[in-house]
């Protein structure tokens, strides 16, 4: 069932935008690890001046890395919080949030998500069918688009 909010929006394009936005999470996670490793590497000092400016290049580089780390952390937190907020309305929304968390934040495959869904939400712990999972994933993406503060919905061109 399509929510009233989406009557004037292109559902497929909206889903693609949500998919692209949530896939950034794994990229951000990798970038966060890279920035932490760069911060651990030591600076090389040979004691000889290399230029005549008063700018301390080492301090500038460290400051830039700290800014980058903070930006990555904020972007990851925004995505995590938005997925958590999807769960706040009802039980079905809690299922949608779990699907988004497994698929995008944890980076699980579709098969693993189907198994996790069965373990979490099915009384007999049967894995969810892939087609049913994909239907639920579509609904979860649309729910995410409603909540996310950046506009991901695409209006239908008339």
Query: Residue 52: its pLDDT value, please?
Result: 60
Mean pLDDT, to the nearest integer, of 50-68? 74
> What's the length of the chain?
158
- Taking 80 as the threshold, does the pLDDT of residue 105 lie above it? yes
Q: What is the rounded distance in angstroms from the CA atom of residue 54 to the CA atom of residue 72?
A: 30
pTM tops 0.75, yes or no: yes
- Taking 50 as the threshold, does the pLDDT of residue 62 lie above it? yes
Between the two ends of the chain, the Cα-to-Cα distance in Å is 22
CB 35 within 8 Å of CB 68:
yes
Max Cα–Cα distance, the chain, nearest Å = 72
* Torsion 66-71-75-77 (CA) sign: positive
Q: Where are the domains of the chain?
A: 9-38+65-148
Q: What is the DSSP letter of 155?
A: B
- If pLDDT is split at 50, 70 and 90, which confidence band does 37 have? confident
Please report, rounded to a whole number, the percentage of residues in the chain having pLDDT higher than 70.
Answer: 84
Mean pLDDT, to the nearest integer, of 106-133? 94
Mean pLDDT, to the nearest integer, of 133-143? 95
Q: What is the rounded distance in angstroms from the CA atom of residue 99 to the CA atom of residue 110?
A: 10
Q: What is the rounded distance in angstroms from the CA atom of residue 80 to the CA atom of residue 133?
A: 21
Query: Average pLDDT of the chain?
Result: 86
Query: Residue 1: its pLDDT value, please?
Result: 45
């Amino acid at each position: 069932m399509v929510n009233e909010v989406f009557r004037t929006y292109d559902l497929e394009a909206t889903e693609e935008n949500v998919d692209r936005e949530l896939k950034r999470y794994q990229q951000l996670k990798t970038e966060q690890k890279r920035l932490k490793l760069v911060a651990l590497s030591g600076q090389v000092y040979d004691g000889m001046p290399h230029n005549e400016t008063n700018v301390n290049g080492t301090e500038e580089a460290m400051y830039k890395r700290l800014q980058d780390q903070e930006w990555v952390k904020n972007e990851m937190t925004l995505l995590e919080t938005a997925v958590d907020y999807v769960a706040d309305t009802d039980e079905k929304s809690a299922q949608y949030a779990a699907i988004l968390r497994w698929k995008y934040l944890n980076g699980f495959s579709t098969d693993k998500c189907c198994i996790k869904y069965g373990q979490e939400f099915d009384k007999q712990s049967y894995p969810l069918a892939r087609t049913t999972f994909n239907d639920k994933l579509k609904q979860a993406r649309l729910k995410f688009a409603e909540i996310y503060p950046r506009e991901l919905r695409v209006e239908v061109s008339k």
